Structures are given as structure tokens and as C-alpha cells.
Structure 1
Amino acid sequence: MTQYVWDYLSEYEAEREDILDAVDTVFRSGQLVLGESVRAFEADFAAHHGVGHCVGVDNGTNAIVLGLRALGVGPGDEVITVSNTAAPTVVAIDAVGAVPVFVDVRPDTYLMDVSQVESVITERTRCLLPVHLYGQCVDMRPLLTLAAEYGLVVLEDCAQAHGARHHGRIAGSFGHAAAFSFYPTKVLGTYGDGGATITADAQVDAALRRLRYYGMEDKYYVVQTPGHNSRLDEVHAEILRRKLRRLDSYLAGRRAVAERYARALADTDLVLPATAAGNDHVHYVYVVRHPRRDDIIEALRPYGISLNISYPWPIHTMSGFAHLGYGTGDLPVTEAAAKEIFSLPMYPSLTPSEQDKVIEPLRDVLAAL
């Protein structure tokens, strides 16, 4: 049996009765679009983050797109972010006509190096977009200070950080708005696509609600700026509402898996994940590092172990973003990490025996290098 980086089947078996009941509840409700399940989930998710508003959308990419638009970011504006992220972060910036501007990441956590941000702020800068990557938060205090000093908006990308905390405060509660993905692999995931944007600002909330529904406030009448169809589905909302109640158990499971890896691999020459000061890590992925990464991955294939790289191609090196004018060497920490990092299997239902089937061959391969 192949050991994958992520597998939902065992979790589904454990929660199957509740998941099927969620589907049945929606189908019997008589309302399949923007009904009670979406409203209930939005209320629960907003409360979970201590903010006043949550707007459910169809995926995490559009959660960023609508968040940017609702915050007034548009054509020609510059958005400062990182190149070590999933492509959707930057695709969303491009989708609103804004220009992504990259800073490098920290060599220990691979998170935004906030100390570099001020040096790339220009008169066109409108937004700071920190990516809470791999399950922990960017250093938000100095970033918020910069935003206040230069009059910038902050949109947090929380796609990989459901439940993560920074100095006791939950990810998504720092900025003017925050975007989440509920793709199946996420810490809080549904059985398909889904997303949400949260905010404490009632005006931003109103803009988000218009934008996800063609720009309408009343049926058939577009107010101000046209939007598009970007609604969270009722079925996914009901599943997410129920899974949100189990989020703490998911986090505990992930942390247990991470602790077991740390104990079992501490005496190897793998660079294990580092947790930044003040952070509570939720371990969306368990990213390790080794200069012979590719040899390790290849050597583990005969054992049926499939590993992932998050991410092998920094955004600024992709041909689709060549127009931004970045070149090799512009972000040296990001580029060096991309050649060496890879992820071990990580999901809360991963059992100790399943984990041993990764750890033992990995230790053997490392010893033989």
C-alpha cells in the first residue's frame, strides 16, 4: 500500500455518519444555495476567530480575490507578499490587476522576512499580504506597525493556518481581512472546494457579500462594482460547520504526529521544522530539508512512500510570472529552500504504525547516503 502525504479515507470512515447526515440535512432543507447552513457556518467561523463577519465563498483563491477587491486593491496597486507560497496566492493578486512584489523568507521557518518589507514599499504599495505558511504565523506585530505607518491594508492568507496562534491570538484576526481555503487537504477541509473571507469591518463585509453575488444586494440589481458568482455551497457549509466543532481534535492529532517525527528523526541530518517564537504551530504540512532531497525521494519510492515538495518552483521563477521582471538570485533564501525542502505524510488520522512505515525507511535511506 502506498503511503501518501495526505489521505482522507480513514477520517471519512470515522466521521461518515455525521458527514452523510450533513448532506441529508441540506437536501431535506429545501434550500441549496445561500441558505441556513451557510449562514450558520459563517456565524460560527467568525465567532471562532473573534471577528464580526465571515463570508463563505467557493474556494480559497477567490477568498483572496474578493478580499483584495473589498479592501480597495485594484489595477496598478502593489501587493507585497512572498514567492514561497502556493501559486493561488499570487494568481489572486494578478486577477485583480494588482502587481505582486516579493520579499524573501526566513531561513528557519520559510515565512515572510518582515525585516525586508519596508525596503520595497513604494508610493504604489496598497496592501501587505502575509502568508501563514505550513501551519504557523508570520511575525505580525512589526508588519502591522508598517501598515499603520504607511497607510496600507493587510490581508492575511490563512489557507494553511486554521487554528494557528501568534502570541495567543488566532491567525486571521490581525489584518483588515483574512482569506481561508477549505480544500480537502486543509486543516479544516471539506469534500470539495470552499473558502471564506473574514473581517471585523462591517463595510468590508458588505462589499464581500456583494462581490460574491455578482455585485448584487437585491436580486437582479447590481450595485456599484460588478462581482461574480463565488458562493460557498450549502452542502460544504454544513459539513464545515460540523467539522469546525472537531477542529481542536484535528490540531491535537497533527501535533502528535509532528512530535513523533521530531523524536524519531532528531538524531538524523534532516533539518526539522522550526517554530517561530510566540507561535502555536498546527502542522498543516511537515516540511523537512536536506541537500540530497531528490535522492531521498527517489530512494523511498520502492517502499511505496509518495512525498510532496511545498514548493519546488518559487513563484518568481515561473514563466507565467516572467513579466514581473525577477530573476534567479533575487530571492536567494527562497530559491535555496526550493531545492532542498520536502514534506512527510501529515494528517491527524495517521496512525503510529503508518508513521513508522515512513520513519524506518527514511532513517535507513539517510544512513546510507
Structure 2
Amino acid sequence: MSIPFMELSDSYDLIYDEVMEKIKKIIDNTRFIGGKEIIKFEKEFSDYCNVKNAVACGNGTDAIMIALKALDIGPGDTVITVPHTFIATAEAVTAVGAEVDFVDIDEKTYTMSPEKLEEYIEKNIDEKNIKAIIPVHLYGQMADMPAVMEIADKYDLKVIEDSAQGHGAQIDGMGPGEYGDFATFSFYPGKNLGAFGDAGALVTNDDGLAKKAKMLSNHGRYNEKYTHQIEGYNSRMDSIQAAVLRIKLKYLDQWTEMRIKNAEKYDEFLKDKDIVTPFVRDDSKHVYHLYVVRVNDRDELKSKLKDNNISAGIHYPIPLHLQPAYNYLGYKKGDFPVTEQVSEEILSLPMWPELTSKEQTEIVDKILSLQKG
């Protein structure tokens, strides 16, 4: 049996006819940019997030950059995030001219440590113009937003929730966008809510910020084609992507429950084994974009799984502070010990809604046999 890391095509049978019909209509009416599909998606997605406004854009990286610009963050400002994330989180900060800096993660949840966050702020508040925090909702579990927001309020900092892996997640009954000034989303095809190409969005309860983000995403204009209130960007979601996302959004809760059930099966199969399974806070809804375990001899196990036709991933093998792109920040190995240890042990097992019990049993049996051997 060959088992991929992710199988997007398994969900397509459910939506194929509806998607093809919708794409044909868009082709027939030739409205490829803007229009009703975008407007309807923004309304439906904001409703789903329980937030007043959604702004569609080109991709998740642009979403973070637009949020930063809308909050007037730029040269001379410092933005705090974590080194255990995809580089998009950090490169959006430097793209607007601000300085990115890092704090370590919580060892159980792999999300931003509130204790390390406040420690950093107290140490640097007199030397740096700290303006914002970007907590990352990782693998499907939200960061500790009540604690992050308490710190942000204490020091008068803006908060952008990087929710590229957090569609539908919650903490204390609230989801991305209900805490921070913005939450940003990626709809890359492999996400829990994925488009048929690149797409992204921002959500916010602030009408003024939403309007500014809308202008930034569309050359600085708002409802008037040749009147540009500010300088902006070309980061518009294609109508076809909005149409696809509107269809898939109707099934997102169903697919999320399937992911959760698959995670529970993994938990049961791996209980009392020499493997650290995902920790979930009592007050959280984890939506399992990824099912990430920690093991000894991770690279060897991953290689052996590949030899046995089972694909696994690593999210992420090299922390951002040790990436060549950030050599200029002057960090060295040992500066973020939790992130560094985790990056050497984590392994992402195959996970998608339609993953079968038979496939999961094969994966777990193979892992356990390889560990013994």
C-alpha cells in the first residue's frame, strides 16, 4: 500500500459537478476579477469567522503584509513573531520595511510562549519601537490568544493572527479574528480550506481597517476605478478561486470533524508508545491541518517510512532564526532552545479528511515496527 502525505483528490468527487458548473458560468460571463463571487465569499467567510469584515486577496503572505500596512507599520518598527513557522510570517514584516524579531514557543503546543513574549518586550521596550505581535496558529491549534491579548493590551501593541493553518479553530469559544486587530488566512490548495490555486484573506471587526485593507489590495482604490486614495498593491483574489472557496466552505465543518476523528484514531493507536502525540488545550478546538508527533531519530524514521511507501513531512526542519535569509539578525544556535529541539524531533504524519482507518493502521503499524527494528 502506498500512502501519500495528503490526497486532495479524495474530496473532489463531492464537489466536482458543482465546481465545474460554477467555473463554466464564470467563463461564460467573463467576470474573472472582482464581481459577485468575491463579494459573496467575503460575506460568507466573515460570517463563518464570526467577524464583521473579510477582505479577499491574492495569497496568505500578501494578507499579512496588507494587515501590517493597514496598521501603519513600516520602517523603524519592530514586529514580534516566532521562529517556528513558515517564512511567510516573517518575510511579510520585512516586506513593509519593519524589523522582525522572534520569541520562543511553548513546548507542548508549539505556539508562541506568552512568558517569552513578555520577557522580550520588557527587555527591549526602551530600545526598540515595538508595534505589533504576530502569533501563529500552528498545525490547526490557536496560540494562547487570551494571554497574548492581555500582554498586547498592557503594552498597547497591535495583533495580527497568522491563521494560515487555523481555519475553524477556536480557543475559549472564539476563533481567529475575534481576538486580534486582524486575522490572516491562506487558501493554498493544501490548507483545510483550499482554493484551486493561490488565494488569501484578512478578517477584522474594525470597519476602518477593513476599508483600508480593501484599498491596499486593489491599487489604493475603493469603488472608483480611476480614483486612488492611497498607493496600494495588486493582490486581488480571482473570481474562480472565490467561487471554489464558496463551495468548499459549505463542507469545511464536515471535513474538520473528519480530521478530528482521524486525529483521535491516531491518538488511540499511539497511546502509551514512545511517541509524543499532539497536546490539545482543554479550552481549544484543534482542527488538525497537520497531525504532528515527536520522535527520536526522526530523520531515520522518515526515510524508512519513505522506503515503505509512506510519505511524511517536517513542519519545519530549520527554524527561521537559523535560516540563511536571517543571518543578518545575528542569531545563533541555542538562542531559541525549545524551537530548536522541536525542529529536530517533529514528524507530520499523513492527514486529510478521507484518510481511512486501514491507512492509519498501516501507518502506525509501520512506525512501531520500524522503531523496534
TM-score by structure 1 length?
0.97
Secondary structure of 1:339's match? helix
Contact 1:111–1:138 under 8 Å retained in 2: yes
Please, which of 218, 224, 228 is the counterpart of residue 222 of structure 1?
Answer: 228
Matches within 5 A, 1:240-319: 240-319=245-324
Secondary structure of 1:116's match? helix
**Structure 1 residue 301 displacement after superposition:** 1.9
Distance in structure 1 (CA, Å) of the matches to 2:248 and 2:8: 13
**Structure 1 residue 221 displacement after superposition:** 2.8
Contact 2:177–2:205 under 8 Å retained in 1: no
Look up the match of 1:61.
Answer: 61
Look up the match of 1:88.
Answer: 88
Matches within 5 A, 1:307-346: 307-346=312-351
Look up the match of 1:208.
Answer: 213
Matches within 5 A, 1:97-116: 97-116=97-116
Write the letter of the residue equivalent to 1:64. Answer: I
- Stretch of structure 1 that moved more, 5-14 or 51-60: 5-14
Secondary structure of 1:170's match? coil
Runs of 4 or more off by more than 4 Å in structure 1? none
Contact 1:137–1:166 under 8 Å retained in 2: yes
Distance in structure 2 (CA, Å) of the matches to 1:342 and 1:220: 50
Write the letter of the residue equivalent to 1:81. Answer: T
Secondary structure of 1:205's match? helix
Distance in structure 2 (CA, Å) of the matches to 1:136 and 1:301: 27
Does residue 150 of structure 1 match 2:159?
no
Look up the match of 1:17.
Answer: 17
Look up the match of 2:46.
Answer: 46
Distance in structure 1 (CA, Å) of the matches to 2:30 and 2:110: 47
Contiguous gaps of at least 5 residues in structure 1: none
Distance in structure 1 (CA, Å) of the matches to 2:280 and 2:219: 41
Count how many residue pairs are aligned between Structure 1 and Structure 2: 367
- Stretch of structure 1 that moved more, 167-176 or 35-44: 167-176
Write the letter of the residue equivalent to 1:275. Answer: V
Look up the match of 1:186.
Answer: 191
**Structure 1 residue 239 displacement after superposition:** 0.8
Secondary structure of 2:149's match? helix
Distance in structure 2 (CA, Å) of the matches to 1:208 and 1:37: 19
Contact 1:310–1:343 under 8 Å retained in 2: yes
Write the letter of the residue equivalent to 2:365. Answer: E
Please, which of 366, 369, 373 is the counterpart of residue 364 of structure 1?
Answer: 369
Secondary structure of 2:132's match? strand
**Structure 1 residue 356 displacement after superposition:** 2.4
**Structure 1 residue 276 displacement after superposition:** 2.0
Contiguous gaps of at least 5 residues in structure 2: none
**Structure 1 residue 173 displacement after superposition:** 1.5
The percent of aligned pairs where both chains have the same amino acid is 38
CA RMSD of aligned residues (A): 1.2
Distance in structure 2 (CA, Å) of the matches to 1:3 and 1:127: 41
